[in-house]
Each structure stands twice: as C-alpha cells, then as structure tokens.
Amino acid sequence: MAKILTWLLTTLLAACFWKLSVQHPVNGILGLDVERNSEGLLESGAAYRQFSGPAQNFPDVGTWTRYDFMWNLNKAALSAGGNIETDVTYIKEAIEDCANQYHVDRRLILGIMMQESRGDVGVITTYSGGLPTAGLMQCSGCPGFPGQHGLSQADITSMVCGGVKHFRGNMDHFGNEWSGKTVFPALREYNSGNVNEANLSDGRGATASYVSDLANRVTGWSN
C-alpha cells in the first residue's frame, strides 16, 4: 500500500510540474511575451504560410514563438544592412524599453521593425500620400537617420518608440485585448490606415500580405 501511495503522489506531482512548465501566466493586460514550450511552439525556422480572412484565421497568440528565439532568428539580418555592433545592441535595448513603456509585446515590435526596415537604423525615409514615414518602424511622424549608422541609444530608441506608440494607438482602436482580434486588425491599420475586418489581407492600396507576413514572423519565419 505504501508503494502504491508513493507512486500516486509522485505521478500527481509530476503532472502538476508539467502543467506549470507549459502554461506561463499572462503578464499584464497585453500578455507581454507569453512563452510556452507546449506543442505548436516553434523552435526552428518555419516555412511561410499564407493567412487571409478575419482575425480568427490567423495564429492564436498562444502559438507564437519565444522572443529570444525570434531575436536570434533575425540577428544575422540585423547585422547585414550596414548596422554596426552597437546599433544591434541598442535596437535590443530599445525594444525592451518601448515594450515596457507602451505595453506592447516585444515580438510584435521586432516583427514590425523587420517588416518595415529589416532593422537597418540608416533606412531611407519613404513617403505615403506626401507624408514622410521614417526610421526603423517606417512610421509617420517618427524620426529617421537615412544613411547613418553608429547611432546613439537615444536616437535608436526614439525611432522604435515612435512606431510602438503609433501601434499602441492601433491596438486601442480594436479593443486593447491580448488576442488576435485586437493584434491582427491593428497590424492592418498600422500598414494601410483602414481595415476590412472580413479580410485582413485586403491591403486597400498598401501591402496586401502585411498581416500574413507578421503572423509568420511571430511564429518563427524570417526572410
């Protein structure tokens, strides 16, 4: 009987430990960097998948890859566009600072940055409707430093936070929940300015694949 009780207790403790190990609690209203090592969490580069339609057709936030893995997956690209070592270091610090300041998940910040500028701190300023969209996040009203590298931490943080602040507003427009029904329409609005919620791959003159691209980036794809 004692052996049976010991076995039952050991099994119960093991089950509890497993449950805790795969279900990390949500950190705050936006679930900053919810990281799970459950099935569906990608730990290697993923193949591109096409997503379209409404938000529920896009990957659930619980299936996104870990931020550290996503950072490492993109680190080579961050170092390939003219950035020097300190630029890359300062980008990582800026992502941390802006995520905490505006309560936006780091994976979304990194994903938007890679989509918009591939993390080149000296990216050119583009124009949309005659208005400049500048910097790492290619955002209207954001600072930019075209052709320049070896920037200060303050310069790089100003570019990242400018875009994150803008995206924070987009998230507020769609309910400010840590769920796909907030995140994916907000990404559509960030890129195109207005949203067809029935089909988030309707770019309305902007990049049709933008939301699908970001969905792939946060689930382990890079280009």
Task: Give the start-to-end residue ranges of the domains of the chain.
Answer: 2-217
> The domain 2-217: what is its CATH number?
1.10.530
Tell me the C-alpha distance between 195 and 197, whole Å.
6
What pTM does this model have?
Answer: 0.82
| pLDDT above 50 for 174 | yes
Q: How many Å separate Cα 180 from the centre of its chain?
A: 12
- Give the pLDDT band of residue 5 (cuts 50, 70, 90): very low
Order of strands across the sheet that contains 126-128: 126-128, 131-134, 139-140
132: β partners:
127
CB 161 within 8 A of CB 95: no
Interval 46-98: pLDDT, tens: 899 999 999 999 999 999 999 999 999 999 999 988 999 999 999 999 999 99
Tokens found for residue 36: 């799970």
Q: Which of 32, 4, 15, 8 is CA-nearest to residue 164?
A: 32
- Give the pLDDT band of residue 129 (cuts 50, 70, 90): confident
- The pLDDT of 195-207, averaged and rounded, is 97
